[in-house]
Structure 1
C-alpha cells in the first residue's frame, strides 16, 4: 500500500500563522512533499498569498485584499492574530515563495497554488501566476487548483502541460465530467467524496484524488487504504 504524499495546508498552519513564510519554512522542516497556499491580487496587481478575500481574520487590518496596494498590505501584522509570539510576521508574495523554492535543499518540494477567484473575479490572475512560474522555471513542481473551473480552463488554454487540480466542495455528481472538460489532471476534494462511488469512478478514470483538510489519524488511515494520492493537512508533522 503506497503512502499518500503529504502537503502542508497553508503551510504548517496548525501550529504557525497560515500562509506566512514561517508556516512554509516549518512545513519544509517537517519533511512534507508539498505546500498548499492561496493567491489573490492586490490593488496594484501583485500576486499575494492569503486565503480570505478580506484581511480581517489573519491580519490586524480590515478590508478587502483588492483594495490595498502591496506596500500597504505589507505594513499589516499577519502573525499576532494566531499568537503573540508570531507578531511581526508579514503577508508574502508568490514571487518571494517561488524564489525560496529554488534555494538549496528545497529542490524536491512541490507547490499547490490555489487561485482564489471563486468569490472575486481577479482579472489577469492566471496570467500573472503563470508568468511567475515561468520566471523561476518551476512548472514541473507546480499544481494550480481552483474551485472556479473557468479559471482553470484559462490556465489550460495558456499552458498545455502544467498540472491542474479541480477543487470541489461536497459531493457534486458532475465533478469528473468538468475535470475532463477543462483538462484537469486531478480532483481535489474532501474525504467523503474520495471514499464514495464518485471518488472510485474518478480514480478508475485516471484522476488522482488529493484530499483536504485531513488532521485526524483515523481519517488518514481510511484514505490511505482508498489509494488517494495526496493528503493536505494543517499538522504535517503528524503524518511524516
Structure 2
C-alpha cells in the first residue's frame, strides 16, 4: 500500500499541504485533560472527532497487551516497578488516574482488547505504538484481536523497533504500519519500504534538525507525522514544511489553530 492509498481509504482525496490541513492525532488520547492512555482519554479524543487516537502498548507478565507508555508504573499509577512484573489481572487493580488529580481516582490501565472493542463499538481510528520489541506470540495476540473486532481498517501500528515492525509485516499484514524515528535520515526511506511502512514519523526535535528530509520522504510517497508538537510556533513550522499529520497532547487547541487557516475544517 502507498501512503496516498492509505489516505484514500479514509476518504481523504488530497494530500495534506498546499491548502489541505494536516491530520490531527491525539497523543495518548486527549492526554492534556484526562489521564493518558486511559479509556477516558480515548473517549475525550473521540469527542473531538480527531483523525487518529494514539496510544501505547506494552505486555504484562502473562503476555497480555496493555495500554501504558512507560516501562514502569511509577509516573502514572499508584504502584512502582516494571509493568512486565505484573499480570494483566494484577494491573487491572492499579490506579492509573489519581496521579493527575483526585477527580480521576479509580481510572484503570486498559488492556488493548478493551481499547479495540471500544473503537469497534464507539468509533474512531487507532494509532497504536508498540513499545520495545514484540515477540511473534505477542503480535499474534494483536492479530487475533484485530480479527475478533474487525478493526483492521481502523487502526495503524507504529514502532521504533524494526524487528517488531517486521514481525507485524509478517503476522499482522492487514494493519498499516508506520516507522518511528527520533531523527529522520535518508536511509530510513529504504528501511520503511522493506518493512512495508507507509510513513516515517520523527520527533519534533528530529524534524527541526532535518527539515529538508520531509520533502524527500514525501517525494517517495511516504507520509510524515511529527510528534509531539504542542505549541503554535511548532505548528506553524510543521505547516510550512507540509507535514501530513501532527501528533499533539492538545488536539482541541490544534483543531482551533487549523480552523483559522483551512476551510472547511473537520
Q: Could you tell me the TM-score, scaled by structure 1's length?
A: 0.92
The runs of 5 or more residues in structure 1 that have no matched partner are none
RMSD value, Cα: 1.6
2:216 to 192, 195, 201: 201
- Asked whether the 8 Å contact 1:2–1:224 carries over to 2, the reply is no
- Asked whether the 8 Å contact 1:194–1:209 carries over to 2, the reply is no
- Partner residue of 2:139? 126
The 2-side partners of 1:194 and 1:206 are apart by 18
The 2-side partners of 1:191 and 1:45 are apart by 32
**Whose helix proportion is higher, 1 or 2?**
2
- Partner residue of 1:70? 88
SS at match of 2:99: coil
The 1-side partners of 2:222 and 2:136 are apart by 29
Q: Does 1:90 align with 2:103?
A: no
1:135-175 Cα shifts (integer Å, max 9, x gaps) = 11111111100010111011111243421000001244422
Q: CA distance change for structure 1 residues 123 and 64 in 2, over 3 Å: closer, same or farther?
A: farther
- Partner residue of 2:8? none
The 1-side partners of 2:70 and 2:206 are apart by 24
2:55 to 27, 33, 37: 37
Query: Equivalent residues in 2 for 1:131-210 (5 A)?
Result: 131-194=144-207, 196-210=211-225
Q: Structure 1 residue 219: deviation in Å?
A: 1.4
- Partner residue of 1:113? 128
Q: Structure 1 residue 217: deviation in Å?
A: 1.5
- Partner residue of 1:102? 120
Q: Structure 1 residue 182: deviation in Å?
A: 1.4
SS at match of 1:101: helix
1:157-215 Cα shifts (integer Å, max 9, x gaps) = 12434210000012444221211221111111123544622221111111110111011
Q: Structure 1 residue 122: deviation in Å?
A: 5.0
The runs of 5 or more residues in structure 2 that have no matched partner are 1-18, 256-266
Q: Could you tell me the TM-score, scaled by structure 2's length?
A: 0.83
Q: Does 1:215 align with 2:233?
A: no
- Partner residue of 1:46? 64
- Asked whether the 8 Å contact 2:120–2:150 carries over to 1, the reply is no
Q: Structure 1 residue 225: deviation in Å?
A: 2.9
The 1-side partners of 2:242 and 2:37 are apart by 28
The 1-side partners of 2:136 and 2:88 are apart by 17
Count of residue pairs brought into register by the alignment: 235
2:38 to 17, 20, 25: 20
- Asked whether the 8 Å contact 2:214–2:241 carries over to 1, the reply is no
SS at match of 2:143: helix
- Partner residue of 1:239? 254
- Asked whether the 8 Å contact 1:194–1:200 carries over to 2, the reply is no
Q: Structure 1 residue 230: deviation in Å?
A: 1.4
